[in-house]
Amino acid sequence: MRRAGRIVTRTMLLEQVWDLHFDPQTNVVDSQISRLRAKIDRDFDKPLLHTLRGIGYRLGDEI
Amino acid sequence: MFTHLRQLSRTSAMRLAMRAALVQVGVLAVALAVLFVLLNRYVDRQIESALSGELAALASLPAEQRQDSVRALAASGSKNQIRYYRLETIDGHLLAGNVQQWPAGLSADGRTRTLDLRVREPGEENDDAVRLPAVATRLPDGGRLLVAQAPGALEDLRETALTVAAALLGLSALLALALGVLLGRQWLARFDAISHTAERIAAGDLTQRVETSMRDDEFDLLAGHLNAMLTRIEAAVAGMREVSDNVAHDLRKPLARLKTRIDVVLAQPRQVDAYCEALAQTAADAEELMRTFDALLSIARLEAGSDIAVPETFDLAAVARRVTELYADEAENEGRPFSVELADTLAVHGQPALLSQALANLLDNAFKYTSPEVAIAVQLIQENGYALLSVVDHGDGIPAGDHIRMTERFARGDIARSQSGSGLGLALAKAIAHAHGGRLGLADTPGGGLTVRLSVPVART
C-alpha cells in the first residue's frame, strides 16, 4: 500500500514488479491486474483497484 | 613535367631510394679508394722489384760490358720501356747513361726513392726535369750505378684506375637515381589509384572500390582493408536508407489515421465524454507510435553495435522464468495450454533487459497470432555451447518461404496484417540475438505451427 491513492502506470508496474524495461504488446499486464482485482475486490461492494484508461492503475477510493 | 618531378621527389619511396643511393655511392667510393691505395702500393712494389732486378743484373756484369750495356740501354729505350741510367766513376764522372746529374738525396744503398732527376732523352739537346722512382748501388770499382723508372706506365695505370672509379661512381649514382624515380613512379601510380577512388567515394559514390593487384603487397593489404570498410559503410548506409524509407512509409499511415480521428472529433461540438474518449484513444495511438520509434531506434543501435555498452554475465534461465511467469497467467486467463521447460541455470553474456524483451516479443507474437486454444511451449536448453531458447506454437504457422522475410523490419504475415502491431517484434529480437553473437531462426513446428529459436553463446567461466 505504499502507493495508495497514487496512479501507477503500466511501465512502472512492469519495471518494479517484473523487472521488464519495456511494455509487452499483449495484455499480460491487464490480465495480472484483473487477477489481482478479482482477489482484493471480490468480497467488497466498493472497488479498491481502479483502472484509468490509457494511463495506468490506482489503488484507493474513487476520485 | 616539373610539377610531376616535384610530386615524385616528395614520395617516400623516392626519398628512401635516394637515401639508399647516397649510402650505396658512399660505400662504393670508400671501396674504390681502398682499392686505389692497394693498387698504388702494388704498382710501387712492381716498379721497385723491376728496378732492383735491372740494377743487380747490370752490377753483376764486368765493368767493360756494363758500360756498353748502359750506353746501349740509355740510347735505345722504347717509349714504354724507357728507363733512365747513370753510370759514374768514383769521382762522379759520367761514364754512360742519360741522367745528367746525380740526384741529391739518393744514396747508393739499393733502396728505391722517388726524387727529381735531370735527364736527357735520346737525340735531344736539352735536359728535362722529371720526378721518378730511382735506385742506385755502389760498384766494386768504387763507381755508382743509378736506374730510374720511366714515366708513363705508372701514371697511365693510376689515371685509368681513377677514370674507372669515377665512371663506376657516376654510373651507380645514376642507376640509384633511376631506381628511385622508377620506384617513386610506381608508388605514386598505386597511391593515385587509391586516392582517386577515395575522391570518388567522397563525392558520394559508395559503390567504388580500390583496385587490387595480384601482388599481395602492402598496397593490396591496405586496399583490402579499405574495401572491407567500404562494404561495411555501404551496408550501413543502405540500412539507414531502408530504415528511413520504412519510417516514411510505415509511420505515416498511423499518423494520418491519428490526425483523421482528431479532425473528425473537432468537426462538430460534442459531449465532454466524447472528447475524453478521443483523447484517450489518441494517447494510446501516440504510445503505439512511440513504441514503434523506440523499437526502430533499438534495432538501429543494436545493428550499429553500440547498444550493449556494459555487458554483464547473467542467468538466462532466471530471466526466461520471470518473463514466462508473466505469460503463464495470461495463458491461464485465456484457458490456453502453456508449458515451460527451462534449464536450471544457464549463464550468458550481455544485457538481461534486451534478452527478456526478445523473449517477450516472441511470446507476444505467439499469443497474438494464434487462437486461445493453441498450445504454446517455451524451452531453454544448452546445445553446442549455445543457450537455445525456443517458443513453439501449434497454430497455423507461416509458409516456409516467408520465414526469412518475417525477421525484417515492418514485415507482417497474412494473419498479422489484420491485427495491431508494428511489425518490428521479430526484427528487434533478431537484432538482439545478433548483438549477443547469436542467431534467430524460424522453423515449422512438426505437425503444424511456428517454432522460433533464439540462440546466444553460453558465457565462458
Q: Mind telling me how many Å the CA of B331 is from chain A's nearest CA?
A: 9
Q: Are residues B349 and B396 in the same domain?
A: yes
Specify if B277 maps to a domain.
yes
Q: Kindly report, residue by residue over B61-97, the tens digit of the pLDDT.
A: 888 888 888 888 887 765 545 578 899 888 888 888 8
Residue with cell 523499437: B295
Confidence of residue B251 (pLDDT cuts 50, 70, 90): confident
All cell numbers assigned to B42: 702494388
CATH of domain A7-59: 1.10.10.10
SS3 label, residue B166: helix
Please choose, from the candidates B117, B422, B447, B379, the residue with its C-alpha nearest in 3D space to the C-alpha of residue B290: B422
All cell numbers assigned to B82: 724507357
Contact B452, B440 (CB under 8 A): yes
Q: Are residues B428 and B451 in the same domain?
A: yes
Q: Is the pLDDT of residue B243 over 80?
A: no
B327 touches chain A (CB under 8 A): yes
Distance of CA A16 to the CA centre of its chain: 12
Contact A4, A61 (CB under 8 A): no
Beta strands B386-393; B83-88: pairing state: unpaired
Specify if B151 maps to a domain.
no
Q: Are residues B267 and B317 in the same domain?
A: no
Residues of B in contact with A32 (CB under 8 A): 326, 329
All cell numbers assigned to B340: 515451460
**Which DSSP state fits B112?**
-
Please tell me which residue of chain A has the smallest CA distance to B285.
A54
Q: Is B239 exposed, middle or buried (0-12, 13-18, 19+ CB in 10 A)?
A: middle
Q: Are residues B271 and B247 in the same domain?
A: yes
Q: Mind telling me how many Å the CA of B267 is from chain A's nearest CA?
A: 24
Q: Are residues B297 and B360 in the same domain?
A: no
Q: Kindly report, residue by residue over B254-297, the tens digit of the pLDDT.
A: 888 889 988 988 998 889 998 988 888 888 888 878 888 888 88
Q: Among B303, B330, B360, give the residue marking a domain's end.
A: B303
A47 touches chain B (CB under 8 A): no
Q: Kindly report, residue by residue over B283-337, the tens digit of the pLDDT.
A: 888 887 888 888 888 888 887 766 566 788 999 999 999 889 888 888 888 899 9
d(CA B132, CA B51): 12
B333 touches chain A (CB under 8 A): yes
Specify if B369 maps to a domain.
yes
Residue with cell 486461445: B372
The CATH number covering residue B440 comes to 3.30.565.10
Question: From residue B91, how far is each of A39, B94, B134, B139 by CA, in Å?
Answer: 155, 9, 20, 13
d(CA B348, CA B356): 13
Distance of CA B317 to the CA centre of its chain: 46
Specify if B204 maps to a domain.
no
Q: Mind telling me how many Å the CA of A54 is from chain B's nearest CA?
A: 6
A24 touches chain B (CB under 8 A): yes
Considering only CB atoms, B364 lies closest to which of A21, A26, A34, namely: A26
A39 touches chain B (CB under 8 A): no
Q: Are residues B226 and B297 in the same domain?
A: yes
Q: Are residues B314 and B405 in the same domain?
A: yes
d(CA B116, CA B56): 22
Question: Residue B326, Cβ neighbours under 10 Å: how many?
Answer: 21
- Cβ distance A32 to B327 less than 8 Å, yes or no, reads no
Residues facing residue B138 across a β-bridge:
B144
Residues of B in contact with A18 (CB under 8 A): 322-323, 325-326
Please choose, from the candidates B269, B266, B246, the residue with its C-alpha nearest in 3D space to the C-alpha of residue B258: B266
- Cβ distance A54 to B368 less than 8 Å, yes or no, reads no
Residues of A in contact with B281 (CB under 8 A): 54
DSSP string, B244-297: HHHHHHHTHHHHHHHHHHHHHHHTS---HHHHHHHHHHHHHHHHHHHHHHHHHH
Please tell me which residue of chain A has the smallest CA distance to B424.
A25
Instruction: Name the amino acid, one letter, at B404.
Output: I
Q: Are residues B350 and B269 in the same domain?
A: no
All cell numbers assigned to B341: 521447460
Region B236-241: mean pLDDT is 81
Q: Mind telling me how many Å the CA of A14 is from chain B's nearest CA?
A: 10
A62 touches chain B (CB under 8 A): no
Q: Are residues B296 and B323 in the same domain?
A: no
B260 touches chain A (CB under 8 A): no
- The predicted model scores a pTM of 0.54
What is the rounded radius of gyration, in angstroms, for the C-alpha atoms of chain B? 52
Domain count of chain B? 2
Confidence of residue B418 (pLDDT cuts 50, 70, 90): low
B326 touches chain A (CB under 8 A): yes
Please choose, from the candidates B322, B410, B402, the residue with its C-alpha nearest in 3D space to the C-alpha of residue A24: B322
d(CA B219, CA B211): 10
Residues facing residue B115 across a β-bridge:
B132
All cell numbers assigned to B398: 507461416
Sequence spans of domains, chain A = 7-59
- Cβ distance A27 to B326 less than 8 Å, yes or no, reads no
Q: Are residues B315 and B235 in the same domain?
A: no
Specify if B30 maps to a domain.
no
Please choose, from the candidates B189, B185, B194, B192, the residue with its C-alpha nearest in 3D space to the C-alpha of residue B224: B194
Specify if B270 maps to a domain.
yes
Q: Each residue of B49-79: b (16+ CB within 10 Å) or e?
A: ebbbebbeebeeeeeeebbebbbebbeebee
Contact B43, B154 (CB under 8 A): yes
Residues facing residue B96 across a β-bridge:
B87
- Cβ distance A28 to B353 less than 8 Å, yes or no, reads no
B405 touches chain A (CB under 8 A): no
**Which DSSP state fits B458?**
B
Residues of A in contact with B333 (CB under 8 A): 31, 34-35
SS3 label, residue B77: coil
Residue with cell 520504412: B246
Considering only CB atoms, B326 lies closest to which of A21, A28, A53, namely: A28
Q: Kindly report, residue by residue over B166-187, the tens digit of the pLDDT.
A: 898 888 888 888 887 888 888 8
Specify if B152 maps to a domain.
no
Instruction: Please give the mean pLDDT across all residues of chain B.
Output: 84
Q: Are residues B367 and B396 in the same domain?
A: yes
All cell numbers assigned to B334: 485465456
All cell numbers assigned to B364: 507476444
Specify if B27 maps to a domain.
no
Q: Kindly report, residue by residue over A14-61, the tens digit of the pLDDT.
A: 777 777 766 666 677 777 777 777 777 777 777 777 777 666 777 777
Q: Among B271, B303, B335, give the residue marking a domain's end.
A: B303
Q: Mind telling me how many Å the CA of A55 is from chain B's nearest CA?
A: 8
- Cβ distance B329 to A31 less than 8 Å, yes or no, reads yes
All cell numbers assigned to B292: 514503434
Q: Are residues B261 and B313 in the same domain?
A: no
Owning domain of residue B222: 218-303
Q: Among B285, B303, B321, give the residue marking a domain's end.
A: B303
